[in-house]
Structure 1
Amino acid sequence: MKKDRGGAVPAPARAAEGAADGGAPVRGLALTLLSACQLTLVVDASIVNIALPSIQRGLGFSDTGLSWVVNAYTLAFGGLLLLGGRAGDLLGHRRVFVAGVALFTVASLAGGLATTPGWLLAGRAAQGVGAAFAGPGALALIASTFEDGPRRSRALAVFTVAASAGMVAGLVLGGLLTAWASWRAVLFVNVPVGAAIVALTPRAVRESPRREGRFDLAGAFTCTVGSALLVYGFIRAAEGGWSAAWTLGAFGAAALLLALFPVIEARARQPIVPLRLFGDRDRVGALLMRLLLTAAMSGMLFFLTLYVQGVLGYGPLATGFGFLPTTIALIAASRAVPWLLPRYGPRPIMLAGAALCAVGMVWLTQVAQASSYLTMILGPVLLFGAGTGLVSVAATFVAMASVAPGESGATSALLQSMQQTGGSLGVAVLVSVHDATRGAAELDGMRGAFTAGAVFTAGMLAMALLAFRRRPAGQGRAGSHI
């Protein structure tokens, strides 16, 4: 190691050396940066929701166009995740991660400066592209930075809490920034965070080895376009109904492309998503649990926000703070998972988490005009937060267990694709049920929507019972290989 004139190792070299040997301070900084990135990416899917009325007044959006302030980000993020994961496997996860965060940061600045609707939508779409390349790399870098065992378990728990809490944190932060500054602040807030991540990541995080290979172009096309069309179909279903021409067309094209995808991947020499990842029963169960959990949670948050503001009369800021117990319960439950998983395996943890979510959602089906926050909201959000903490952390552990280093990006992208697709699915289904059941009373529609959410949680219970293998305490792949 080259030293300066005084015989000391220069600071940048010491940082790089620490990253190479995984020193504790550098690992802590790495976990902070990667978790902060994931929190920011998930927050951006919901942070603009409370600011939408201000955005509409400021830029003159139509009612139809306004929804695309959210959808442009969701569509680009969800559609490009698998491509972003494979890019990291081939080119190096740190390199692709930093590039994705840089694009996300520049796009956030551009969106905050927007003076026309088209400008803002372009910025939101570019944010989604950056997020799709940064997100899989963040989780893959957690796996490569922290060795197997308790240290990785704790790191994965922190990372997953950041990802799961982001949906609620976005509502709180959006309310604060919109009330105290302006709608532009919900985009500008990403800039210092992103700049810090770009500057510090090379000093704290090792680069993963580059893999020899090339992109599977046919697989990249079918999975990217098919995923984007699937998310778009759910968006259109929520806006125009399941029988609308655009909805049916999007779902039909998505079904065709996604059906071709495994055929192409089976023949590809270097597939964008190795099909052997689906040969593990527990991993498939973890991915589906993540899908169902996010579907239930996104739909619940959507309609609870409407209920708390429209029926209980809370303002945007008070509404955001009303969801804080969800995050508190989520963090508390998630801290137990690294201790429970090696002893009991994923099945009882998934069952307990799914049961808590189911009880919370069934409780919400009883909403009434005379209900209060303490009698109708606090209990369900605490239960749902605790259940989410158990399921999301355990699902991440199981999905990432025993994954080859060259496939960590693809696996990370699959897990995050389930989250993005589940969010769109949950809102689309619950909005459709709400519209079909509300009749003359708005609360009838909300009760119908929460009933549909309870069906998702029942699916989680069934999945936890059927998909995961039974294991004696202290044994099993999930506990011993993570």
Structure 2
Amino acid sequence: MSRDVQPLSVRRDRASARSPWLPFSMLAVIEFITVLDASIVNVALPSIEAEFGFTPQALAWVVDAYLLAYAGFLLLGGRAADVLGRRRMYFAGLALFTVSSLVCGISQDAAQLLIGRGFQGLGAALVAPAALALIGDLFTVESDRNRALGIWGSMAGIGGAAGMVLGGLLTTADWRWTFLINVPIGIGVFIASSRLLPKIGRTTTSRLDLFGALLGTSGLCVLLLAITRAQDIGWLSGQSLTSFAVALVLLGAFVVRQLTAAEPLLPTHLFRRPSLALGNVVIALVGVLLFATFFVVTLYMQRVRGFSPLTTGLLYLPINASMWLGSWLAPRVIGALSPSGSLAAGLFLQGAGLAWWTSVLTVDGNFVFTFLVPAMLWCFGLGLSIVSAFVVCTSGVDAEVRGAASGLATTTYQSGGAIGLAVLVAVADSRTGELLAGPAGERPSEAAALVSGYSASLLVGVVVAAVGVALALLARRLTSATPAAPETATQ
């Protein structure tokens, strides 16, 4: 065994003598600011468009540049945390994220802003899986680890809500502050983490599969780019079909590489556990329900109800409080039902909330009954689902591959969200366009057509939730029937 690769118990220096909750608070802040950064910029887009003269299509890249880099590099970031050291990748990603935020905040033209956004996404892709893996290092007792994951998951809800509210407030001063706010937070977390986090080095002697990383990252980026652009240029256009074909070839080559490489980016023994394999499918469905539904609901509040961005953000506070409550209660539900059982329960509640929404959503009905209550039911189930899904995908994984497992779970989660967003928006637009193209005498108002489109997309969400419940229950059954084999670090 090399000098810098030692059992975690040997390397928990004096920082381990402290309570793990203090260093964990830094990891929770990281989850908060990465989610915050994905939502806070939405409110600032009109101001950015006015200053830099973006076209509507180009403006979308302010969001897409971050999301594509984030989702595309997560697999590499997760495995790099194992091979190069989780603490090292955590600080590298945090530093890159902070500096890139500064670049975005002081950018002088559109190109500088988009480059900064891309590097922001790369920084988030390095720091997020490292932070998630560090949670497993800090908490060796399962109940404590599940509780920590519950708090960590709730940061997504808090960050999403804060992004909407802070975006509205900061944009009134200057849109640049939506990026610059990350700089003092990032510096403060960097300094505090350097003192609080235990010095955990490399957990494996394996080398980083750079060729596999190139294939996987390229394939994911091309796939997500094709999905994003297909909404504007058409799903069956020549460019879309070509992009999908290239993505298929790259991802196919990535799978072959993982099956044949001596030290693959994703250790193949991870997939020998049925709960982990199914968990990664289900967490993609959870991503669909999170990203796509929030997007559709935000459009409903602003385009149909006519709420301002700031009012929309404030209305999200009780909704996200429900999500936080579901995340906070998740460890107790997991203890009572098992991780897979808790995941099934959360998805069932999401489906119930979405079905309620679909049946009562109107242009001007009672806002509490037709919107707020079903939204809170959906978000409570969402909070429960997110935490349970990450527990299913990371529990029982050896320290040597914990970063890879974390990166895989976060990748499928983010990719599911991107795919689901494209599909649900396409469903909503298709239904709305169909109604508005009808005979003049039978044509509904634009608001009524929008509501019908949004309801159709939410109905797709009900089907997604039902499929997720079935898969989660199957994972629970397989886990109960088959004793978990001990993990090894070899392929």
TM-score, structure 1 length as denominator? Answer: 0.90
1:388 to 382, 400, 417: 382
Q: What is the rounded CA distance, in whole Å, between the counterparts of 2:464 and 2:220 in structure 1?
A: 21
The residue type equivalent to 2:18 in the other structure is: G
Is 2:107–2:113's contact at 8 Å kept on the other side of the alignment? yes
The structural deviation recorded for 1:110 is 0.7
Alignment partner, residue 461 of structure 2? 453
Q: Which residue of 2 aligns with 1:219?
A: 212
- Give the Å deviation of 1:471: 7.1
> AA paired with 1:442?
L
- Identify the residue that residue 70 of structure 1 maps to in structure 2: 63
The CA deviation string for residues 217-238 of structure 1, in whole angstroms up to 9 with x for no partner, is: 2211111101111211221123
Give the aligned length: 457
Which residue of the other structure, out of 229, 237, 244, is the alignment partner of 1:251? 244
Q: Do residues 23 (structure 1) and 38 (structure 2) align?
A: no
Partners of 1:286 and 1:395 within 8 A in 2: yes
8 Å contact from structure 1 (residues 262, 275) kept in 2 = no
Tell me, yes or no, if structure 1 residue 319 matches structure 2 residue 327: no
Equivalent residue letter for 1:385: C
Query: What is the alpha-carbon distance in structure 2 between the residues aligned to residue 209 and residue 328 of structure 1?
Result: 37
Report the counterpart of residue 186 of structure 1 in structure 2.
Answer: 178
User: SS state of the match for residue 167, structure 2?
Assistant: helix
List per-residue Cα deviations over 1:300-350 (Å, max 9, x = no partner).
111111111111121111101111122211222222222232332123312
Distance in 1 of aligned mates of 2:90 and 2:236:
39
Give the superposition deviation at 1:148. 2.4
Report the Cα distance in structure 2 between the residues aligned to 1:56 and 1:368, rounded to whole angstroms: 31
| Shift in Å, 1:476 | 8.2
Name which of 193, 196, 202 aligns with 2:194: 202
Counterpart of 1:442 (choices 430, 450, 454) is 450
Helix, strand or coil for the counterpart of 2:198?
coil
- Give the conservation status (yes or no) of the 8 Å contact 1:334–1:390: yes
Structure-to-structure mapping, 1:105-184, within 5 angstroms: 105-179=98-172, 181-184=173-176
User: How far 1:164 sits from its partner (Å)?
Assistant: 4.8
SS of equivalent to 1:336 = helix
Give 2:301's aligned residue. 308
Preserved CA contact (<8 Å) 1:226 1:257: yes
RMSD: 2.0
Counterparts of residues 256-271 of structure 1 (less than 5 Å):
256-271=249-264
SS at match of 2:458: helix
Give the one of 399, 412, 422 matched to 1:418. Answer: 412
> Counterparts of 1:471 and 1:244 in 2: how far apart (Å)?
43
Q: Report the Cα distance in structure 2 between the residues aligned to 1:151 and 1:476, rounded to whole angstroms.
A: 23
Q: Percent identity among equivalent residues?
A: 37
Match 1:400 to one of 394, 400, 405: 394
Question: How far, CA to CA, are the matches of 1:166 and 1:304 in structure 2?
Answer: 17
- Structure 1 residues without counterparts, runs of 5 or longer: 1-15, 478-482
Contact 2:280 2:393 in 1 (8 A): yes
Q: Give the equivalent residue in structure 2 for 1:6.
A: none
Report what 1:290 is aligned to: 283
- The SS at the match of 2:307 is coil
Alpha-carbon deviations, 1:434-477, whole Å to 9, x = none? Answer: 121112122222222222222222222222232322778xx987
Instruction: After TM superposition, list the pairs within 5 Å mapping 1:370-385 onto structure 2.
Output: 370-385=364-379
1: CA distance between counterparts of 2:70 and 2:94? 13
One-letter identity of the residue aligned with 1:257:
L
8 Å CA contact 1:368–1:443 kept in 2: the answer is: yes
TM-superposed CA distance for 1:70, in Å, is 0.1
- In 1, Cα distance between equivalents of 2:283 and 2:166: 24
1-side partners of 2:254 and 2:80: how far apart?
18
1:137 maps to a residue whose letter is A
Distance 2:35 2:246 in 1: 27
State the Cα distance separating 1:244 from its structure 2 match: 2.5
